[in-house]
Structure formats: structure tokens, C-alpha cells
Chains A and B, each alone.
Chain A
């Protein structure tokens, strides 16, 4: 009986150990992969149209979802924010509240999450499928490095698109807040923009938001290309890699956001 228990515990421990070493090993491989992508990146820029194409797929095709989401998030923030602020007679502060929430947090984070599920999953699926159908192996046999030809342009396409999408999300959100706050609720437009300008600083509020979106872009892009490249070359392998891209990217965005916020806004009150 106790022997059975011991075996059970041991096998559980072994599984735990295997999971841990597997995860750490994969992290190491992913880091090595990132370096490989960076080293081979000059290729992606020498052949600029390859990267432009990926900006088109990652950025331009994400525009509709980003702009629509930004608009609605801004409108909801405006409704909810006004409801609370007006209790304290601070309804005119709506502009600054919405702008700070969007520029500092919601813009980069929500745009990042949408980007991961719209563009990141597509990148993973595409690379995974190219691997499954031996397109990557074929490239290798043609003496063309698939990391330089396929992975690096997609990586940079994502990295370049993400900050632009986040800025568009924030801008659209503020526009949505303007529609609801000024046009529907009837806050004075001058107060709305004036409070916003007085309370939001380009440095550090806007720049920190941009830094965040750049970091999220790097994280989502490397996760997406890595999961695709590392996918098992089967239909199930590609589908589970796509799911992993969305899950890991989302967690990475939220965790990185916490860490960066802690560093960025800690010193401000000094």
C-alpha cells in the first residue's frame, strides 16, 4: 500500500520534473531562436518587400478589428467613467480619465491581445502549415534559410505593426469617448480636451504606452513565429501550436504589462 503510494508520488514527481525541464528547455530554444532571427534579420530588410508584405498581413488586415474595438472600448469607458466621476462632481475630468487609461494601459494591452489572436495565430498557423507541407524543408534543400526567408520578415512585420495598431486603438478610443462624452452626455468640448491636455503628458504617459506596445509587439511576434516553427508537422500539431500562441502571448502581455507598469509609474510621484 505505502509502496504503491510511493510509486505514485515518484511518478508524479518525475512528471513534474519532466514538465519543468521541458518548459525550461523550450524557453532556452526560444531564446536561441530569437537570437537566430535577429542575426538573420538583415535579410528581411534587404528584401524590403518581404517585410512590407508581412506588415500588410499583420497590420493592415488587423486594422478593422483594432479600430472597431478601440471605438467601442472608448465609448464604454466614457459611459462608465462619467457615471462614477459625476458622483463627485468631476464629470469634466472624463477626458483625462479616458485618455490616461487608454494611453497607459488599455491601448497597448487590448491592442496586444487582439493582435495576438488576429495576427499572431495567423502567423503561427501559416508557418506551421509550411512546415507540415515540407515547404520549409524544400527551402532548406534549395539552400535558402527558412528562418531568414520566412520567419524574419514575419517577425519584423509584427514588431513594426504592433505600436502603430496600439496608437490607433488609443486614438480611436479617445474619439469614441469624445462621441459619448461630448456629443451624447453633453460635457463641454473645451473642458474635455483641456483637462486631457493638462493631465496627459507626452513624456512619460504617451511614450511609456508606446514602449509597452513595442515590447508587446516583440513578445507576440517571437512567440508566434517560434510556435509555428516549432509546431509538430501534423494537423493537430499546427492547431495546438496556434492555440498556444494565443494563450502564451496573452499571458506574456499581461505579465509584462504588470512588470513594466511597476517600473514606469513607480517613480512619478516623487
Chain B
């Protein structure tokens, strides 16, 4: 499987992250998005007329939407990542996959404008991002009250992977995550997954290892 990749693209990172979590080996092709704008070059537009990154190729199959790539990887390697089979669970996964497009547009747009100087209406995208984050915070709080840590099932699914990167990188676009405790706990749960990989701006959990407990001085003292 070949992934046309960019190290700073959260959409490409989603695919790399799920591949790492389910143990699929990807052949990465680095695309000079910034500053070279290679994703809009003729050869890449021939693969993806939309001129966006990532692109996943497996034999005759060409995928240009990251949500579809997540479905494909999960179905090929680890179907439990697709979530439950009943109507509610299946629809819930689809709901969050579609929701993740809003994150790409709003949080992703704010990040590209604020960090890489792409044109865009930064205040409008930041306001829209806040509405998205409040909706996500409310949903995750509700899940937590039900005793669950993830968006669409009692285990992580592609819904979590689809939403995680742009949310975690919200500060890159000048959007703070301080007001959202449930989102922060959910991000920590994702970063704790065995096989988790990082991307620039999303650090691994080594800063959060538990404090060592000394037998001579129990924690309760």
C-alpha cells in the first residue's frame, strides 16, 4: 500500500496512525506540499483531481478521502476498529467520520492560515472551530458518564482516529484546548494506545509517566 504523505498533514497522519495501530506497513511517498505545492502538480492531480493529500493506492484502488482510507485499513487488518454492527453504532461511526470533515475545514483551515500563512478568514475559522469543539466536548462528556472513553464504542474506533489529529493540533491554529477537559482525557486515552505514533505538534506520553512510588514513603502520607 502506497501513501502519498506529508509529515505536517493531519489527514495523512490519521492514516499513518491507524496503520501503526493495526500493524499495516505503508510505503510512504513524501510530497513537497509546503513550500513546493507539489500536491497541486500535474502528476499528482492525475491521481487526485482535488489536488489534496493524502492519497492511498493499493493495486487498482485509489483513495483520496482519509475517512475512506481508515475504513479500508480497518476492514483489511482489524475489523474491530470499525465499531459495532448494530444500526446505532454503525451510524455513530459514520456521523463522526463526517464530522471530521468539519474539523479539517475549520481547525485545519485555522492551522494552515496561522502557521503556514495560507489565505483564509482566521477569526471565522476559529469561531467555527469553537462550535465544533463544544459539540465534541459535550459528546465525550456524555460518553464518560456512561463509563466509556471513546466516541463511538466501548473501544477506540476509526471515529476517534478521524477526529483526533485536528483536535490535538488546535493550538497550532490559535485555538486553546484548555476549556475542554473531556477532550483532553480522550486525547490522553488515544496517546496511550499500544503502537501510538506521534507527529510534529502531537507529543508522545513520556511526559505523563506515573510518579514513582517509594515504599518508604507511601502516597497517602
A binds B: no
